[in-house]
Amino acid sequence: MYPRKFSYVAPSRVEEVLRLLKRYGDEAKLLAGGHSLLPMMKLRIIGPRVVIDLKNLRERLSYIRDGARAVRIGALTTHAEIELSDMLRREIPLLPETARLIGDMQVRNMGTVGGSITHADPSADWPVAMLALNATFTVQGARKRLVPASKFFKGPFTTALKPTELLMEITIPKPPKGHGWSWQKFERKAGDFATVNVAVIAIPDGKSRVKDVSIAVGSVNPVPYRATGAEKMLRGKRPDAELLKSTAEAAAEPAEPTSDLRGSAEYKKWLTKVMVRRALEEALSRAGIPVEVVQHA
């Protein structure tokens, strides 16, 4: 399968990329790792007239930097680089775990975090993880602007990025040491996109209570969402099994999945509850928050 004919350019400076985007506008597509773009071009779902290959920007836009309060990741960093980062495994383990379950080894060697985020597939993994972690995206156009993950995803394959803008960097505030986390991805087979994916970060207060929690859910709506209602139910609480169950139900409430090859709408809605409950159990246990089991008479 060949993509439609296109012309090709591989600039080596960000300014050049921006100039090219201005010149070609909607006719151009940016190529990062190409593992979302090229399949779509080969299947002729899209046929851009111009492909702007970002391979010569790798040196500038591929990095994982540790800071006092946040970690910054360059948009062209591959999934594999995040998967293999010891620093991230220590500081924000949700990130390497999310990376580890994307596609397969070969795909992770090419695919990039920025490519996945800007592609905004409703079943993609990074948007869910970034939403749970309160990440901020640095976007460069005529001027630089910061877009929080919660305002970035607008619809399936649609983001707040203008045709003349480039995603440069992702800033992820570090959750406090001792936080609990969980990445739950349900896939039909190894390497598949998620049927449902859930990210949870749980912060303990040191007295067996939940100080703060974030729950992000993906694949069941046009864009991933934060289950803010469910988060409220847990904050300040010493959770028991009953509370986790009702929290998971509340978290699945906004889900309006559609039936497709990965399952019926009804099944996916039910699966959302299960995955949120599993994610909460795992995250709370990692945070050292015991979950009291309710004794039914």
Partner 1 sequence: MPRRRTQRPRPAAEPAQDMVSVRVRINGVEYSHVVEPRLLLVNYIRDVVGLTGTHVGCDTSHCGACTVLVKGLWGDGWMAVKSCTLLAAQVDGKEILTIEGLAKNGELHPLQRAFWENHGLQCGFCTPGMIMAALGLLLRNPNPTREEIKWGISGNLCRCTGYVNIIKSIEDAAKEMREKGVTI
Which positions touch partner 1 (CB under 8 A)?
A: 1-11, 20, 23-24, 31, 34-35, 38-39, 41-43, 50-53, 55, 58, 62, 78, 80-81, 103-107, 109-110, 190-191
8 Å CB contact between 124 and 149: no
Closest approach of partner 1 to the CB of residue 160, in Å: 26
Task: Return the H-helix or E-strand segment holding 29.
Answer: strand 28-31
Nearer to partner 1, 38 or 291 (CB): 38
Closest approach of partner 1 to the CB of residue 12, in Å: 12
Nearer to partner 1, 32 or 117 (CB): 32
Query: Strand pairing of 136-140 and 144-148?
Result: antiparallel
Exposure pattern of 17-34 as b/e (b: 16+ CB <10 Å)?
bbebbeebeeebbbbbbb
Nearer to partner 1, 112 or 134 (CB): 112
Closest approach of partner 1 to the CB of residue 256, in Å: 29
Say whether 284 sits in a helix, a strand or coil.
Answer: helix
Nearer to partner 1, 5 or 69 (CB): 5
Closest approach of partner 1 to the CB of residue 141, in Å: 19
Nearer to partner 1, 107 or 160 (CB): 107
8 Å CB contact between 33 and 111: yes
Closest approach of partner 1 to the CB of residue 254, in Å: 32
Q: Percentages helix, strand, coil for the chain, rounded to the nearest 5? A: 35, 25, 40
- Token code pair at residue 193: 């996109």
